[in-house]
Amino acid sequence: MCQLLGMNCNTPTDICFSFTGFQARGGLTDHHRDGWGIAFFEGAGCRVFLDPRPSADSPVAELVRQYPIRSLNVIAHIRKATHGRVALENTHPFMRELWGEYWLFAHNGDLKDYAPALSGRFLPVGNTDSERAFCHILDTLARHHPANAPSIETMHALLRTLATDIGAHGEFNFLLSNGRALFAHCASRLCYIVRQAPFADAHLTDQDVSVDFSQLTTPADRVAVVATTALTDNERWTPITAGSLLTFVDGEPRDFGDGTTRAFVKDTIPPAV
C-alpha cells in the first residue's frame, strides 16, 4: 500500500520534520520503493518534486528534507505500484489547472475495472487508476461549475459524492488540494493531528528524531497533518472514519454540517506530553 502525507496550515509552515519520518518509509522502514513525490503550494504557485526512485536514497528527497519550503498546503506520496509501471508519469502527486488554480492529487489504494468516461478536457498522461480518478474528479467539478470556482463547501459536497462513487471500484484514500483547502478522503486508513498552542515535543515513529514545536511556532499557528499512519509516537492522532471526507482549511477540519467533521474537532487538541 502507498503512503500519503498532507499538511494544511493557517500560516506558512515547513514540513521538514514530518517529511523526515515519511521519507524513511520509501524503502528504509517500509517497502514503498516505486517512487515518491511531494508538492508545495506557495501562494497561487506550486512546486512539485517527483522521483520514480525510492525516496530513502533520492537526492531530491534529501534536498526537500533540508530545504525549508514554507507552505500552507502540501501533499506527498510514496508509491507501491499496483496499476501502471514505475515511471515518472505514474508518480503522484498529479497536477492540473482548473478555474485558474492548480490542483494536486495523490491516491492510496487500488481501483478495479475503473474506466470513467472523460470529456477530454483532463486526460491522464500515464496509465494509473489514480490519474484517471483525478481527471474524472476535475472533469466533474468543471462540468458542474464551468465558469468559476464554487465555495469550498460546495466543492466538499460534490467531492463527497464523487469519492463514494469512485470508491465503489475499490480502495480510494486520497488527498486533493487547490491551495486553499486540503480534501482528505478515507476509505480504509488515514489519520490526522492538529497541532496548535500549547505546542509540545514530537518524536518520529520511523526515525529517532524529535522536535520541540514550541520553539518553532507562534501561539496563533495551527497546522493539520494527515497521514496514512501516525508519523509520531508520542502524540494522539485521530483516525478518519472510513467512508468520510474531511476538508481542512486554515489548519483544521471544517464542519459543513454533513456529520463528517463534527465528531473530530473536539479531539484534535494534542495531549500534554
Provide the binding-site residues for a second copy, judged by CB under 8 A: 42-52, 59-60, 63, 66-67, 87-91, 95-97, 99-102, 120-126, 146-147
Question: CA 58 from chain center: how many Å?
Answer: 20
2 is catalytic: yes
158's enclosing H/E stretch is helix 152-167
Which of 2, 46, 186, 191 is labelled catalytic? 2
Give the three cell numbers for residue 109.
489504494
Sequence-ordered list of residues with C-beta below 8 angstroms from that of 99, at least 6 positions apart, any chain? 142, 145, 148, 149
242 touches 171 (CB < 8 A): no
Q: Which is nearer to a second copy, 43 or 271 (CB)?
A: 43
Q: Is the peptide bond before 198 cis (omega within 30 degrees of 0)?
A: yes
Cα-based angle 101, 105, 107 (whole degrees, multiple of 5): 170
* CB-nearer residue toward a second copy: 101 or 258: 101
Residue that is written with C-alpha cell 480504509 in the block = 188
Distance of closest approach, residue 94 Cβ to a second copy, in angstroms? 9
List the catalytic residues.
2
